[in-house]
Amino acid sequence: MTGGYFEIQNISGGYGSGRVVRDVSISIARGEVVCLLGRNGVGKSTLAKLACGFLRPMSGAVQLAGVEITGKRPSENLTLGLTYCPQERVVFDDLTVAENLSLMRTDRRLDEFEPYFRAFPRLSERRGQYAGTLSGGEKKLLSFVRGLSEGSAMMVIDEPTEGVQFENVVRMAELMLAQKEAGASFLVVEQNLTLVDRVADRIVIMDHGEVALSAAASELDRQQILAHLTV
Ligand SMILES: Nc1ncnc2c1ncn2[C@@H]1O[C@H](COP(=O)(O)OP(=O)(O)OP(=O)(O)O)[C@@H](O)[C@H]1O
């Protein structure tokens, strides 16, 4: 145990007997944002799933606030303060935008979502619209707001900006930074350097299922990052 708030320790795993992630360790402190980058197919999403209980690791351990959570179900992890937002948009198409959000609250009130509606007027305008009719980028925003509004101390978010336009990516960054200020920690799988530049304290780059590079964001320039992302 190295003292991080969220500790991924020597995790290996994948699908069936196929090993995709090999011996990956990442330690995230309270209030730290770590961005996980890498080319397509190197195992970033698989690592996120292994860390959050959607896949059972072949070996290694995961700890949250000093508590071992390896192999716990995602629903158990949520009660312990770990939110996982998968890459696939998690919205219910046959519920309205408002219903998708109010589902998160036992009293069904929408008041607490007002800051998110102010940040994303498109969502506000579409409150009464079925989520199934939203564009891909709008669904990603809705999914992001659902995840962030869980208010967990640790959030693992997989490619939140896919299909989201620039100004909304900037607002996503601002909302994340506000939660970071309040003490939340993030592991963000991301290819969009607009978001990475704004939120990352540390950058971890994966290649072939392993950590190829881990450094403070301030120590890396764009060229070094891009060298790892281009084939
Ligand atoms: N459900 C699955 N069953 C079997 N193999 C899978 C499954 N999901 C992903 N893989 C394989 O695992 C490897 C890593 O995929 P993963 O989605 O973790 O990569 P990634 O780095 O997140 O890529 P991307 O940036 O394209 O999302 C790929 O070879 C992929 O084909």
Quick: pLDDT tens for 25-65: 999 999 999 999 999 999 999 999 999 999 999 999 999 99
- Say if residues 94 and 126 touch (Cβ distance below 8 Å): no
SS3 200: coil
The yes-or-no verdict on residue 3 having pLDDT over 70 is no
**Which of 20, 85, 87 has most ligand 1 atoms within 8 Å of CB, for mutation?**
20
Q: How far apart are CA 71 and CA 19, in angstroms?
A: 17
The yes-or-no verdict on residue 1 having pLDDT over 50 is no
Q: Is the CB of 17 under 6 A from ligand 1?
A: no
Q: Is the CB of 192 under 6 A from ligand 1?
A: no
Please name every residue paired with 15 in a beta bridge, in sequence order, or none if there are none.
18
Which residues fall within 8 angstroms of residue 158, CB to CB, at 6 or more apart? Answer: 44, 45, 48, 84, 85, 86, 87, 189
**Looking at the domain assignment, is residue 1 inside a domain?**
no
- Using the mean position of ligand 1's atoms as its centre, give its distance from the Cα of residue 46 in Å: 6
**Looking at the domain assignment, is residue 212 inside a domain?**
yes
**Looking at the domain assignment, is residue 83 inside a domain?**
yes
**Looking at the domain assignment, is residue 183 inside a domain?**
yes
**Looking at the domain assignment, is residue 130 inside a domain?**
yes
**Looking at the domain assignment, is residue 87 inside a domain?**
yes
Q: How far apart are CA 24 and CA 146, in angstroms?
A: 28
- Nearest CA, atom 2, ligand 1: 15
Q: Which atom of ligand 1 is nearest to 87's Cα?
A: 27
Structural domains in the chain (count): 1
**Which of 19, 36, 46 has most ligand 1 atoms within 8 Å of CB, for mutation?**
46
Using CB atoms within 10 Å of the CB of residue 25, give its burial: 0 to 12 exposed, 13 to 18 middle, 19+ buried. Answer: middle
Q: How confident is the model at residue 103 (pLDDT cuts 50, 70, 90)?
A: confident
Q: Which atom of ligand 1 is nearest to 46's Cα?
A: 18
Domain range enclosing 172: 6-229
**Looking at the domain assignment, is residue 147 inside a domain?**
yes
Q: What is the pLDDT of residue 106?
A: 65
The pLDDT of 157-166, averaged and rounded, is 94
Q: What is the pLDDT of residue 108?
A: 62
Q: What is the CATH number of the domain that holds 54?
A: 3.40.50.300
CA-based torsion, 173, 147, 101, 90: positive or negative: positive
- Using the mean position of ligand 1's atoms as its centre, give its distance from the Cα of residue 44 in Å: 8
**Looking at the domain assignment, is residue 82 inside a domain?**
yes
List C-alpha distances in Å: 24 to 30, 49, 103: 20, 13, 35
The pLDDT of 117-126, averaged and rounded, is 94
